[in-house]
Amino acid sequence: MNIYLDTSATTAVCKVAADAAYSVMTEFYGNPSSIHKKGIEARNILENSRESVASLLGVSPEEIYFTHGGTESNNTAIFGAVNKGKRYGNRIVTTSVEHPSVKEPMKVLEAQGYEVIWLKADKYGDFSVEELYNAVDKRTILVSIMAVNNEVGTILKTEQAAAAIRAAGAPALLHVDGVQAFGKLKINPSRFGIDLMSMSAHKLHGPKGVGALYIKKGTGILPISFGGGQERAMFPGTEAMPAIAGFGAAVKACGDIEHNFYKVANLNGILRSGLGSIRDVYINSPANALPYILNISVKGIPSQVLVNFLSERGIYISAGSACKKGKRSEVLTAMGLPPALIDSAVRISLSRFNTENEMYATLNAIEDAVKRLRL
Amino acid sequence: MRETILIKNGEIALKGLNRKNFEDALVKNIRDRIYDLGEFKYIKSQSTVMVEPLSPGIDLDEAFERLKKVFGIAALSRAVACEKDMNEILHYTCVFLKDSLMAAKTFKVEAKRSDKKFPLKSPEISAETGAKILEEFPHLTVDVHNPDIIVMVEIRDREAFIHGEQVKGAGGIPVGTGGKAMLLISGGIDSPVAGYMIAKRGISITAVHFASPPYTSELAEQKVHRLLKKVSEYSGRIKLYTVPFTELQEAIRAHCPEELFTLVMRRLMMKISCVLAEKEDCKALVTGESLGQVASQTLGALQCTDDASVLPVLRPLIGMDKDEIVTISRKIETFDISIEPFEDCCTVFTPRHPRLKPDLKRVIQAEEKVLSAFPEDILIKTAEASKVLEIG
């Protein structure tokens, strides 16, 4: 039995995406920059993938740039925006619950002398709108906020950010780390006032090693690496065609966002109500979190132990977030959880391919764990 | 040009009548460590082992790196062998040492002549070689006190050897000459260092690790494999027993006062290790304990654990500070692996307030209570259920 509930770490590549990648590796292997037939084939696949990603977001294909993953998207968005805006000001606003691929670039900028304002998290893992309005001023050149938190699933109030920027008359660009939200939540960047949005393929049943950055037309941020001019010189280097083809196919296959949302919300509901009747289980995700992510603590069972116990039974979940092995979660700390709950926090993350039976099996296994392992 | 590696025996030169055994063991260990690189000839003579590649294209750089980690070697150097003829010697000196001579500013020549029939005496060999070097490398000057490079010319029984500076070897005594011991390894910083130190004194190592899934992770086991792989670069091949310890650990939790969890656990580990040690003909147990480091390593706690072992328990780190242990673990490249954060058998069920001055009688009573929950031969059965893996 294999019940994979760690989709926020990564997902299995769906068959159409794997097939698309395979055909690019073995048949349509041309370089999209070549002018012969093989090159043209590849170029068509590249642009088809771009259109798929664009249409899922409701933006134009010229606004989608392929990257080598979420981390590269975030880094380029942040450094690119700051390089562009530095003559207007010195302040950057972000939150204290961002993914390391936002947090670490921010720390680099802080060390370079930029003033980085870290919005605190409340007990839901969201920021306070008042604090946001106070933080954004006339000298603010970048606001970077994640759409959905990767550890607890909180949907942050990103829609407030554009208004705060307007109210302050700030020259700031708005960047949204959309890696956990992409394909799971309807976010139309132009309607949200978003200038830059990061995405990744492998959280949505696409291959690893490819992502995208939405750059609103006319934004004109500067690249951070330089080379052969691919992706309109924003992300130079020969395109990772097998991964990009898989990305496009995965996006096309993901179907209706809302339909999937309700399907997963139903699975999430089964877990929540089942867990509610197991003693010493605490649900850390807020009630209105993205249903794809459910963070819980089983008091008295360290995270790693519960992960191991379930792993032996073929159920795969995550101790906190897979990206930060061994460190106490900053997000849960910021949310004000006591250390005993942080040390026992685990993340269950779902996909549209999971089933109700898998949820019941998981509940049974967690109940067993409590019976056997709790100290 | 015939390149060789010259190996100077360490302490083994002192070992009187046993010397031949020690030398044979050293050559065997050297062979075990480099046999996969190609065919070599091994010549023992005058407290030196000459390792000469027989097939072309052998990676001598790699061989040299590996031999730096073989115990029983005091010093080693890359050398070129040639006829005992001054013209040959001068020629090869300039060819073989060209790079180092180009990089140096000052040099000196040292000559050794064990073949007393060679026409020139040592000072004459030095003088002639020095003159040739000065002629070929005019940028160099002689400095007999603090030279950048020392050029060694050795006239031995069969041929001459020329080499640059010697590198310090791993020291110690050839592994295997002192019998076998059973190393208890957890995955922390200390136990791999303990294994290294015992191997250095000529003991070959068998290892035992206690796994308690799901409380411990498969990653913790893999970590132990990688640690032992590093230790095996010094100790040679290590056989690892991984003991399934979950049931016993759960029984400890169920039947013991919490303050005694760790001590009873360690006693059971000792007993199981002794079962395996007997099977493997190991004459002692080895642990990474250092006095006072944690609650289970006070003198009283050591008395309790020692009492459980019928074999002597060697604790090579007993008087060392943590930073001294860390220094060695960095040197043998186990430190970065050791600090990876996976639960191991020592960190599950850690009591909040462990007993610092335990009473042996009470500990034994607690242990008896745990064991009474099982059939009489539980420890032997548990030892026999171990997974076995050869590492290195």
pLDDT above 60 (res A323) = no
CATH of the domain at B83: 3.30.2130.30
- Tally of domains in chain B: 2
Residue A211, SS3 per DSSP: strand
pLDDT above 80 (res B351) = no
Q: CB-based burial of residue A84 (10 Å sphere; 0-12 exposed, 13-18 middle, 19+ buried)?
A: middle
pLDDT in tens, A130-152: 999 999 999 999 999 999 999 99
Of A194, A226, A253, which one is at a domain's C-terminal end?
A: A253
Contact B215 A312 (CB under 8 A): no
Contacts 24+ apart (CB under 8 A), A229-238: A230/A32, A230/A33, A231/A65, A231/A66, A231/A67, A232/A65, A234/A65, A234/A76, A234/A80, A235/A65, A235/A66, A235/A67, A235/A68, A235/A72, A235/A76, A238/A31, A238/A33
Residue A373's pLDDT is: 82
Nearest CA in chain B to A310: B214
Residue B130's pLDDT is: 95
Residues A215 and A274 in one domain: no
Contact A305 B340 (CB under 8 A): no
Residue span of the structural domain in which A244 resides: 15-253
**Closest to B368 in 3D by CA, of B280, B264, B293, B260:** B264
Residues B246 and B382 in one domain: yes
Residues A296 and A310 in one domain: yes
Chain B environment of A375 (Cβ under 8 Å): 253, 349
Residues A208 and A324 in one domain: no
Q: How confident is the model at residue A365 (pLDDT cuts 50, 70, 90)?
A: very high
Is residue B294 in a domain? yes
Residues B232 and B113 in one domain: no
Residues A320 and A181 in one domain: no
- Tally of domains in chain A: 2
Residues A94 and A158 in one domain: yes
CATH of the domain at A205: 3.40.640.10
Residues B133 and B245 in one domain: no
pLDDT in tens, B195-248: 999 999 999 999 999 999 998 888 899 999 999 999 999 999 999 999 999 999
What pTM does this model have?
0.84
Is residue A357 in a domain? yes
Residues A348 and A262 in one domain: yes
Q: Which of residues 298-317 of A touch B (CB under 8 A)?
A: 302, 304-309, 311-312
Q: What is the ipTM of this complex?
A: 0.76
Residue span of the structural domain in which B192 resides: 180-391
CA distances to A90, B84, B114 from B125, rounded to whole Å, are 72, 11, 13
**Closest to B72 in 3D by CA, of B5, B6, B13:** B13
Give mean pLDDT, residues A300-314: 92
Residue B1's pLDDT is: 79
Q: Provide CB contacts within 8 A for A77, sequence distance 6+.
A: A144, A175, A196, A197, A198, A213, A215, A221
CA distances to A87, A120, A140, A195, A217 from A172, rounded to whole Å, are 11, 20, 5, 10, 16
Residues B48 and B184 in one domain: no
Residue A330's pLDDT is: 82
Of A234, A253, A272, which one is at a domain's C-terminal end?
A: A253
Residues B254 and B279 in one domain: yes
Q: How confident is the model at residue B355 (pLDDT cuts 50, 70, 90)?
A: confident
CA A112 to chain B, closest CA, distance in angstroms equals 30
Of B170, B193, B210, which one is at a domain's C-terminal end?
A: B170
Q: Please name the member of A305, A308, A325 whose beta carbon is closest to the beta carbon of B341.
A: A325
Of B140, B170, B200, which one is at a domain's C-terminal end?
A: B170
Residues B122 and B237 in one domain: no
Residues A161 and A265 in one domain: no
B377 has which bridge partners?
Answer: none
pLDDT in tens, A242-258: 999 999 999 999 999 99
Is residue B175 in a domain? no
Is residue A155 in a domain? yes
Contact B214 A375 (CB under 8 A): no
